[in-house]
Structure 1
Amino acid sequence: MRVLLGVSGGIAAYKVPAVLRSLREDGHAVRVIPTRTALQFVGAPTWEALSGEPVTNSVFDGADTVDHVRLGREADLVIVAPATADLLARAASGIADDLLTATLLTVTCPVLMAPAMHTEMWQHPATRTNVATLRERGVQVLDPAVGRLTGADTGPGRLPEPEEIVHAAMGLMAARTRPGAQDLAGLRVTVSAGGTREYLDPVRFLGNRSSGRQGIALARAAADRGAEVELVAANVDASLLPEGVQVTAVETTAQLDEAMHRSAERAHVLVMAAAVADFRPATTNETKTKKRGDGAVAPIELVQNPDILASLVQQKASGQVVVGFAAETGDAEGSVLEHGRAKARRKGADLLAVNAVGTDRGFGDVPNAVHLLDAGGTDVAQGSGSKDDVATVVWDAVVRLLTQRDPAHSGAGSARTER
C-alpha cells in the first residue's frame, strides 16, 4: 500500500518516526511530506533515512512530474500526524500553500488526521468548526488523547500513541475496502453513553467513572456504516462528541430512561452502553447539605432506579435489536464472565457486551475487551483493543443478527421493517 505521511509543526512530531517505522515494517511504501515548521522538530535526513524516499515540502520540487497531483493520485492512504490547529484550519479552508496542503486537495483515498495541540486550542470554537468540516467531508479526525502536554499542562490534546494511529489507519482502510461497509444504511440507531448522576443536593451527586468513550465510538462507527444515529449522552465531555450524529444530553437515570424509551419508538437498533446508577437518593435536598456540629453523619437512604435495559427488552417492537453493556468485576461468587452470563439470561437482550472494569481498564481512555453474549448467555463474539475496535466487533455482530433474521439484509438499500 502507498501511504502519504503528512507531518505538521508540533512538538508531538517527535513521536511520528515510530508511526513511519511501523508502517514500513508492515510492508507499506511511505512518502513523508512535512510542513516547513515540522522540520524544526524532526529533520529531513531522519524522514529520508526511515522512509527510503526523498523529502520536501515545496511544490516546486518535482515540478516536472507535478508531484502535488501525482502523489495524491497514487496514494492509497493519507495519515497526518500531528495535525496541528493550523494544519486543520488550512485543510478545512482548502488553502494550498505547501506540498502537504496542496496534496490534500488532490487525494481521493481515505484520509486520517491525528490532532495534537494544547487543550485550549483543541476546544476553541474555530478548531471545533474546522474538525466538523473535515469530518463532514469524510476525513477521519481522531480525538486527541487526554494526558500530559507540553510543560506541566494536562488535558485533551495529546497525540494518540503511534500504535493507536497505525491501528486506526488500518481500520479505516479495512472499513473502506470490505464488502458491506455501509451495512447499516437505512437503519435508525440509538446509542446511550456516559454515566448517570443522582443528586444528593445541588452540589453533590452519586455517579460512576464512565467517560462515555465506548458509547461514542459505537455511535461514530454506526454513522460511518451508514446509520442515522442518535446519541443519548449522560454527562459526557462535549469535546468528545462525534460529528454527524444527533445528540440528546441527559444527566440522571430518569432522564436517560425517558430519552431512550422516546427514541425506541422509531429506532431499529438500541444500544445501552451508558453506565446507569442502580440506586438514587430517596430524597434530594434543595440546599447544600451541611456538616453536623456533633460530627455525626446522617445516613443516605437509597431507592432502586428503573432497569432501563430490561424495560427496553420487554417493550421492544418486532424486529428491533437491543444491545446491552455490562461492566463487571469478579468476586468470590463468580468470575466476570459468570456474572455476565447470569445477567444476559436475566436481561434478555439480543446481545450483551460483558467487560471487566477496574482502575486501569474499561473506563476512560484505556483499551477495552468484551465478550458478546446472546440472551441465553452463549458467546457469539469477542473483541478487544481500542474502543473503536470493540465498536466494530459489536456492529459486525448486530449485522450478522439482522442478516440471520432477514437474509435480504445485505447492506445499503436492503429492505427493512419500518416502525
Structure 2
Amino acid sequence: MSCHVLYGIAGSIAAYKAPEIVRQLKKSGYSVTCILTKSAEKFVSRFTLENVSEEKCYTDKEFWREQNIHIHLTRKSDILLMAPVTANTVSKCAHGIADNLLLNCFLSFKGPVIMAPAMHAEMFENVAIQDNISLLKDRGVYIAGPIEGELLSQDLGVGRMIEPETLVECLSVARFPALSLKNKKILISSGGTTESLDPVRVITNKSTGQLGKALSNMAHLYSADVTMISAGDVSSIGFKYQIEKTASGMHDALHHSIKSHDVLVMTAAISDFIPEYSEKKIRRKDNALSVSFKASSDILKSLSEQKKERVFIGCCLADEDTLIETAIQKCKEKNCDYIIANTASNFGNSKRDFTVVSKEKELDSYSGVSVQEMAYRILSLV
C-alpha cells in the first residue's frame, strides 16, 4: 500500500539536507510532496526538490494564488513530516499561528505529524521552546531529535537535526496506533557483545542491534524516557545511551541503570562464554588453535533480584523444535513477565518471525513482520 508524505521544510541551515531526505523517502517507497517556507527557499531550491521528488514543490506563492491549497495537500497525504523545524515554527505550531502555507497545513492535517527540530543549543534549551515541544508532544506530535553534534560557528551541543536515514526510519511510528508511554522509564539493551582473545583478535556474534534501535527510537517517539545500553554504535534521536562492548561492561551498566527504570527490555546478544585472554598475540602453531572458555554471568537472571514491580521482557534464541518450551522455561527461571522467542534465522533479516510467551503459555505468534512492527508489538506489552 502506497503512503504519501507531505514534507514541510522551514528556514534552518539544516534545510540543505532536504533533498537527501526526499531521496531516502522515495527509496523507502513513499511518494513525496514538498512545501518550502519563504525562509527555507534561501537554503534549498524548489527546482532541486521537484527533480528529486518528481512532484510539484509548493511555496507561499501558491498559498495566495490557489484557493484552499492547504486543504487539498493535507487531504491527499498520509503523513506530515516537518524537517527541519525552527524555534519559530515550533512555537507557532504550538500556539496555532498560521501565517504561511506550511503552518496552515499543520493546522489542517488530521494524520500523524513528525517534527525534526534544528536550532542552536541555547535556543533549544530555552524554557519557552521546551514548553512548546512538550505541548506538541502532549497533543500527539512525534518529536525526533535534536541530537548532540556540530552546530554552526563550530559549536557543539544539542540542537543538530537527526540524519536523513534515521529520520526516515522514524516514519514507521505512523503505521501503528499510538502507544501511551509518557512517564515510562524504559531500559533497553542492544547489539552483540565482543570479547577479546588477545590484543588483536576478538570473538563476537551476528547480532546487528536493529531491534534495539527500533525499540529505542519508537519508545522515544512515544514520549518514554529511554536509556539504551548498546554493544555497538548508536544513532540516537534524542534518547540517552551508553556503549558497553563486553559482557562484563553490559552487566555493570545494566545493574547500575535498572535502579532508575521501571521497564527492562533485553535484546542484546550477550556472550555466553568468555575466552581466556592472552596478553600477547597468539601465534600460529601446527595449524590449530585451542582456546579455553568460561561461562559468563547470566545478566537477566541476576537482574531479577531487583525486579519488584518492574516489567521485564527478555529474548530467547533456540532451535525451532524446542523454541516455545525453552522460552517458557527461561521466562520462569529469569522471572520475566514475557519472553520474545525467536530463531537464528532472524539475525540481520528485514522480516522477522517471533512468539511472545509468559511463564505459563504461548501468547501470540507473528510471521514475516518488519523489525519496526516487532518493536511495536514488544512495546505494546509494557
Q: TM-score, normalised by structure 2?
A: 0.67
Separation in 2, partners of 1:17, 1:255: 36
User: CA 1:65–1:312 in structure 2 vs 1: closer, same or farther (change >3 Å)?
Assistant: same
Corresponding position of 1:5: 6
Report if the CA contact (8 A) 1:193-1:273 is conserved: yes
Unaligned runs of 5+ in 2: 9-17, 37-45, 90-99, 120-128, 146-162
Which position in structure 1 is the counterpart of 2:236? 241
Equivalent residue for 2:343? 356
1:284-363 alignment to 2 at 5 Å?
A: 284-292=277-285, 295-313=286-304, 315-330=305-320, 334-358=321-345, 362-363=346-347
Cα 1:202/1:6, change in 2 over 3 Å:
same
Pairing partner for 1:193 from 175, 181, 190: 190
Q: Aligned to 1:373, which of 328, 335, 357?
A: 357
C-alpha contact (below 8 Å) 2:144/2:237 kept by paired residues: no
Asked whether the equivalents of residues 233 and 248 of structure 1 are also in contact (C-alpha less than 8 Å), the reply is yes
**Displacement of 1:304 after TM fit?**
0.3
Aligned counterpart for 1:38 among listed residues 29, 40, 49: 49
- 2:63–2:70 CA contact under 8 A, matched in 1: no
Matches of 2:236 and 2:50 in 1, distance apart? 33
Structure 1 residues 271-280 or 219-228, which shifts more?
A: 219-228
Q: Is the 8 A contact 2:4 2:76 kept in 1?
A: yes
Secondary structure (helix, strand or coil) at the match of 1:60 reads helix
Corresponding residue for 1:121? Answer: none
Letter in 2 for 1:351: Y
| Structure 1 residues 69 and 15: CA distance shift in structure 2, 3 A | closer
Deviation (angstroms), 1:370: 2.1
Give the alignment partner of residue 170 of structure 1, picking from 175, 178, 182.
Answer: 175
Q: CA deviation at 1:57?
A: 3.0
Instruction: Report which stretch shifted further, 217-226 or 260-269.
Output: 217-226
The aligned counterpart of 1:413 is none
Residue 410 of structure 1 corresponds to which residue in structure 2? none
1:264 to 253, 258, 269: 258
What is the alpha-carbon distance in structure 1 between the residues aligned to residue 28 and residue 251 of structure 2?
47
Could you say what secondary structure the match of 2:248 adopts?
helix
After superposition, where does 1:384-399 map in structure 2 within 5 Å?
385-398=369-382
Q: Is the 8 A contact 1:215 1:273 kept in 2?
A: yes
| In structure 1, C-alpha distance between the alignment counterparts of 2:365 and 2:284, rounded to whole Å | 48
Q: Note the residue ranges of structure 1 that are not aligned, 5 or more in a row.
A: 21-29, 48-54, 81-86, 96-101, 115-124, 127-132, 143-155, 176-180, 399-419
> In the TM superposition, what is the alpha-carbon distance from 1:337 to its structure 2 partner?
3.0
Distance 1:40 1:140, change over 3 A: same
The answer (yes or no) to whether the contact 1:352–1:372 under 8 Å persists in 2 is yes
* Alpha-carbon distance, 1:12 to partner: 3.5
Q: Which residue number corresponds to residue 27 of structure 1?
A: none
Give, in whole Å, the separation in 1 of the partners of 2:376 and 2:194.
28
* Equivalent position SS for 1:36: helix
Deviation of the 1:326 alpha carbon: 1.3
Local SS of the residue matching 1:369: strand
Of 220, 223, 227 in structure 1, the residue corresponding to residue 224 of structure 2 is 227
Which digits, 9 at most, give the CA deviation of each residue in 1:25-49, with x for residues without a partner? xxxxx96659421333464xxx5xx
- Change in CA separation of 1:68 and 1:105 when aligned onto 2, cut-off 3 Å: farther
Deviations 1:162-198 (A, max 9, x none): xx89855333xx21xxxxx43x333322111111111
Displacement of 1:92 after TM fit? 5.2
Is the 1:383–1:389 contact (alpha carbons within 8 Å) kept by the matching residues of 2?
Answer: no
Cα gap change, 1:222 to 1:93, in 2 (>3 Å): closer
Secondary structure of 1:61's aligned partner: helix
Checking the alignment, whether the CA contact within 8 Å between 2:62 and 2:69 is kept in structure 1 is no
Distance in 2 (alpha carbons) for counterparts of 1:113 and 1:366: 26
Q: Distance in 2 between matches of 1:230 and 1:158?
A: 21
Q: Deviations over 1:301-348 (max 9, x none)?
A: 0100011111122x0342122110112333xxx343343334334433
SS across alignment from 2:30: helix
Instruction: Provide the alpha-carbon RMSD of the alignment.
Output: 4.4
Deviation string, structure 1 residues 68-121 (Cα, Å, up to 9, x no partner): 7666887875455xxxxxx95x555879xxxxxx6445525533489xxxxxxx
Rounded to whole Å, the distance in 1 between the matches of 2:313 and 2:63 is 53
* Corresponding position of 1:209: 206
What fraction of aligned residue pairs are identical, expressed as a percent? 22
Q: 1:290 to 1:71 in 2, by over 3 A?
A: farther
| TM-score normalised over the length of structure 1 | 0.62
Q: Distance in 1 between matches of 2:325 and 2:185?
A: 32
Figure out how many residues of one structure are paired with residues of the other and give that number.
320
Residue number in structure 2 paired with 1:57? 58
Specify the SS of the correspondent of 2:327.
helix
Cα offset for 1:383? Answer: 4.2
**In structure 2, C-alpha distance between the alignment counterparts of 1:9 and 1:229, rounded to whole Å:** 30
Contact kept in structure 2, 1:383 and 1:393, CA below 8 Å: no
How far does residue 253 in structure 1 lie from its aligned partner after superposition? 0.5
Q: What is the distance in 2 between the residues matched to 1:69 and 1:288? A: 66
Counterpart-to-counterpart distance in 2, 1:190 and 1:42: 38
The 1:396/1:66 distance shift into structure 2, 3 A limit, reads same
Alpha-carbon distance in 2 for matches of 1:166, 1:14: 9
Rate the CA distance shift 1:246–1:158 in 2: closer, same or farther, 3 A: closer
